[in-house]
Chains A and B, each alone.
Chain A
């Protein structure tokens, strides 16, 4: 154990101490001086290393906000699922940016690239779902005859995909139409989309030529090009079911579409205009019963791109900011109370070694909090519990050493020899038991459900730091203090009897 007492190790401990004090204290003077809140991300917080700031990152259960797990379904065929998941994440990112959330977290998950988790601080669940799932895919359909189809905008006909979708649109903007009375959405197609649109309108006009204004025969269903949101093959397959069609043909309902599950049927109809003439050049106007808001929402939705897949919300968690603040207060109180109790107990039971162990414990708490800030570890309620618990575990190694120390003194060793023997002999038990806890943490971190992961991370960091604090720091403090002969008194050391050196 000479190594533990060597000067490089002592230097290391002092360096860690200085570093953690710096990190723990960083920013608070600035916050006070500028009347900023004492927690969270504030502008210009020093030290600032290229936007990388030091502060405690709070999880949603402490900060308040919404967490949603989405399942991705209907992957487009022939594309890499990983790519599709990435594209979906970037689309969600663009949409979420409109909400102005600080640090939105959108992560891919799932064994087969089929999950996305979204964490949005300070946003309620309804707003989040509306934004993320909003205005999905614009779909253009033509009409084909189907005698069994009795409902919908064109009875006797059912829609068929034309291959033209929102993905073929370059950009969209909301505008007031030429009459100056109603809102429309102007779209310009990509070059491929423009060509396709040209072909479709030409086919429309050729289906029943003539001027629809004057000739009854010129207004046939095949001359219409309907626009839907999110229309799927399943919807078309159900076209012969009158009640189903009646629901789908309702004007599109963004709220319903955003929250749809496999069983809900939402209104998806946008407009079904007749094509007057062939439209070349790749620009078109979508008119419908728009308000300013709905026209802008649609344009934003088209611009941020359509989701390549369908999203189904698996679970939604919303925590209010007040509950989060309450949780922070309670867990802080519990942590401080726990720490105070442990320190008191150690000092009363083990006297001076207990006091030194308590100092080591403070070193430990400071170092762990610094790690939380630097990494940064996102703190959740479960994570803080893991940290508080690790305070209790951190003294375990000290208790092992001190109990052994008493035994060695009882067995007749000198103080110095007893300290050395105690540390050396307690080490295998400390090593093995902490290894087992660490292994449990690693397994929890990889396998456990997501709530448990935060707990595993903080406990694992705690276990590692407690090893350093209990073995290295306490042992060094003990060795330094015991060089003074006045400290080698049985009453101070909590042992029955001490042999002089």
Chain B
């Protein structure tokens, strides 16, 4: 990796004199231990890496769609354990023999999730009796029944929430960054780049889940209301990281006027990378704890957040700020 030659220690001292805050600017400043990587110069490689992850995801979403959870697909789902502990094949045979279009999934603790098309209350009771007759005493842990109307509404409101949140964040950033040189247009460049990074994370997350659910057929890749929660949290987090970088760019633009825009952006990324990685690392630790200890219900949510937050950290460092540079080149403000 090449070094950025312009931001020498002397340069930093000069910045501090301009800043007027340091008391003894003549103090020799040691070269920071962080290696100066030229991220902006290699931006196309980073964009390429993102595309390599996103494109298969989009193909999978287009072609295979998703593995829908009960709250999106609609239906009735029983979570049960049997006293006789029958194996999966036995349960599958019994459910198939009912001719009620049931399907069986084994859970981690030896129980089963049996899913049917939406049943009424009376049919629910019938099915339960029938299962007991076929497989012996049964302990029902959970029954979920979701009709088609609710499923449709959940999908609608989920998408609506993502769209509204995106618009609100774009507006917030445009307002916050309108005071950088260039005014409102600059504000929209900042907001737009942050929004692009945010959509990047949403596509990475939904794409990976589409592949997990449909190609690998894993229950972890199931799309349900928890997944929507994860997407929106990732949206918030991704913007969190991006704002920290952008805020530093804003500050450095004021302080170091001799540097080119690219150099300011690169410097800002280097200065904030440690914080972004450390914060994400602590959150990743917490999520790993939830993933391991939180039980089956929370595993999908924890996995989605893990993927989204790692992607969010990546995109804030390697996509958002480089995109800002690209945008600035296409639409110079001065």
A: residues with CB less than 8 A from B are: 69, 71, 125-126, 129-130, 255-256, 258-261, 264, 313-320, 322-323, 326-327, 330-331, 333-334, 337-338, 341-342, 345-346, 349, 381-382, 385, 388-389, 391-393, 395-396, 399-400, 403, 407, 410-414, 417, 421, 425, 428-429, 432-437, 439-441, 443-444, 447-449, 451-452, 455, 459, 496-497, 499
A331 vs B25: C-alpha distance when bound (angstroms): 51
Complex contact B23–A413 (CB within 8 A): yes
Complex contact A71–B149 (CB within 8 A): yes
Which of chain A's residues has its CB closest to B28's CB? A412
Across the interface, B30 reaches (CB within 8 A) one of A260, A399, A496, namely: A496
Complex contact B143–A443 (CB within 8 A): no
Q: Indicate whether A125 sits within 8 Å of B285 (C-beta atoms), given known contacts A320-B140, A330-B298, A435-B172.
A: no
Looking at A125, A259, A381, A389, which has the most chain B CB atoms within 10 Å of its CB? A389
Complex contact B145–A315 (CB within 8 A): yes
A452 vs B290: C-alpha distance when bound (angstroms): 18
Complex contact B30–A126 (CB within 8 A): no
Which of chain A's residues has its CB closest to B125's CB? A126
Complex contact B236–A440 (CB within 8 A): yes
A413 vs B12: C-alpha distance when bound (angstroms): 14
Complex contact B226–A382 (CB within 8 A): yes
Q: Indicate whether A317 sits within 8 Å of B236 (C-beta atoms), given known contacts A330-B293, A439-B172.
A: no
Which of chain A's residues has its CB closest to B285's CB? A341
Summed over the interface, the residue pairs from A and B with CB atoms below 8 Å come to a total of 240
Complex contact B278–A452 (CB within 8 A): no
Which of chain A's residues has its CB closest to B277's CB? A399
B38 part of interface (Cβ distance < 8 Å): no
B274 part of interface (Cβ distance < 8 Å): yes
Q: Which residues of B contact A69 (CB under 8 A)?
A: 150
Q: Which residues of B contact A395 (CB under 8 A)?
A: 279, 282
Looking at B16, B121, B287, which has the most chain A CB atoms within 10 Å of its CB? B121
Looking at B23, B143, B176, which has the most chain A CB atoms within 10 Å of its CB? B143
Q: Indicate whether A392 sits within 8 Å of B287 (C-beta atoms), given known contacts A417-B23, A443-B164.
A: yes
Q: Indicate whether A327 sits within 8 Å of B295 (C-beta atoms), given known contacts A342-B282, A396-B279, A399-B278.
A: yes
Which of chain A's residues has its CB closest to B241's CB? A433
Complex contact A443–B165 (CB within 8 A): yes
Complex contact A444–B232 (CB within 8 A): yes
Complex contact A259–B22 (CB within 8 A): no
A411 vs B13: C-alpha distance when bound (angstroms): 8
Q: Indicate whether A447 sits within 8 Å of B160 (C-beta atoms), given known contacts A316-B145, A429-B247.
A: yes
Q: Indicate whether A399 sits within 8 Å of B282 (C-beta atoms), given known contacts A322-B141, A389-B233, A411-B16.
A: yes
Complex contact A317–B24 (CB within 8 A): no
Can you list 23 pairs linking A and B with CB atoms under 8 Å apart? A315-B144, A315-B147, A316-B124, A330-B295, A333-B293, A338-B285, A341-B285, A349-B278, A389-B283, A400-B244, A411-B12, A428-B251, A432-B172, A436-B243, A439-B165, A440-B236, A444-B232, A451-B229, A452-B161, A452-B225, A452-B228, A452-B229, A459-B233
A462 vs B13: C-alpha distance when bound (angstroms): 39
Across the interface, A259 reaches (CB within 8 A) one of B21, B120, B150, B287, namely: B120
